[in-house]
Amino acid sequence: MNENKEKGYGEEIQFTRSSVVVFFIFLFHIFRGFASGRGFKQRPPGAGGNHRKSEVDSYIAEASFLSKCIRCGQCGVVCPTQERGEETAKAIQFCKSGFDQGTPYIEPRKAACIMCVDKPCVVACPTDALDLGKLDIEQSIMGTAEIVSPKGCLAIQGLRCEVCYNRCPLIGDAIKLEKRVNRRTKVHIIYEPVVDSDVCTGCGICEQVCIADEAVIKVRQYYPPFKDPDFYKFKGSS
Ligand code: SF4
Ligand code: SF4
Ligand code: SF4
């Protein structure tokens, strides 16, 4: 009996040590993500639940998602194939190496989430790694878009680009066009795209379609750490 107890105690120690190793790998994963300036990888809708309203929520959601995803690939099977010029692509891709090998992620510049109304990826997930509960896809939080380099945005330069605005599935709500005077000319008007992070799902369509060589609007998997209404606004406009 004592032997059994000792064996059980030994297993517990082993489990604790492996947990510590996993925890530090996870911390490294987080650090690397933030060092790259983009947070974590963008995950499909409902990954780790619908909680990505703060950086802390994002840590918890990512940890929950990684613990529940069994790397079966079912979400990718049902994700619809999109035409991309002469090529085709799916929004869901799978990590090919590293700590999270086999888990699904989205790289919007290649193929964004098109926000399928019937949420096939969430339905196909055999665990609740992707879990939206009863929420509509429009209430999912995959991240939030932000204008990362305002000087590169044609609309902010004074041209009527607005491609991101027009292609956003939540047109007029997730991205609003704010009318401002062009500070440089003092007479012309610019229509600056401004993201409402309370509405944006982080689907990444704006990032995919941005006409700049390198997208000037990108999705972060977490909300901005502070709620400054001028956070997105380009200081060159008024
Ligand atoms: S909602 Fe549709 S496009 Fe988006 S990840 Fe799920 S299956 Fe793919
Ligand atoms: S990520 Fe871009 S396209 Fe998608 S909802 Fe947000 S602003 Fe609209
Ligand atoms: S598509 Fe790109 S360049 Fe055009 S308004 Fe949107 S962010 Fe600016």
Q: What is the pLDDT along the chain (238 residues), one digit of tens a residue?
A: 444 434 344 444 455 665 565 566 556 555 555 544 445 789 999 999 887 777 788 888 889 999 999 999 999 999 999 987 888 999 999 999 988 899 999 999 999 999 999 999 999 999 999 999 999 999 999 999 999 888 899 999 889 999 999 999 999 999 999 999 988 888 999 999 999 988 999 999 999 999 999 999 999 876 554 444 454 455 544 4
Same domain (yes/no): 151, 231? yes
The C-alpha atoms of residue 238 and residue 223 are separated, in whole angstroms, by 25
Please list, residue by residue across 22-48, b when 16 or more beta carbons sit within 10 angstroms of its beta carbon and e when fewer do. Answer: eeeebeebbeebeeeebbbbbbbbbbb
Mutate to test the pocket of ligand 3, among 210, 213, 234 (most ligand atoms within 8 A of CB): 210
H or E stretch at 17 = helix 2-35
**Which residue type, as a one-letter code, is found at position 186?**
K
- Domain range enclosing 177: 143-238
Ligand 1 atom closest to Cα of 115? Answer: 1
3-state secondary structure 54-70: CHHHHHHHHHHHHHHCC
Q: How far, in Å, is the centroid of ligand 3 from the Cα of 150?
A: 9
Q: pTM, whole model, 2 decimals?
A: 0.81
Q: What is the spatial distance between Cα 106 and Cα 92, in angstroms, rounded to a whole number?
A: 5
Q: 13: how many CB neighbours lie within 10 A of its CB?
A: 9
**Domain-terminating residue out of 117, 141, 165:** 141
- Which of 41, 79, 118, 201 for mutating ligand 1's site (highest number of atoms within 8 Å of CB)? 79
Domain endpoint, select from 141, 158, 182? 141
DSSP state of 130: B
Contact between residue 53 and residue 144 where contact means Cβ atoms under 8 Å apart: no
Q: Does any domain span residue 149?
A: yes
* Same domain for 137 and 79: yes
Q: Tell me, yes or no, whether 150 and 226 share the same domain.
A: yes
| Residue 36 CA, ligand 1 centroid: distance in Å | 25
Coil, strand or helix at 81? strand
Residue nearest atom 2 in ligand 2 by C-alpha distance: 206
Q: How far apart are CA 50 and CA 133, in angstroms?
A: 8
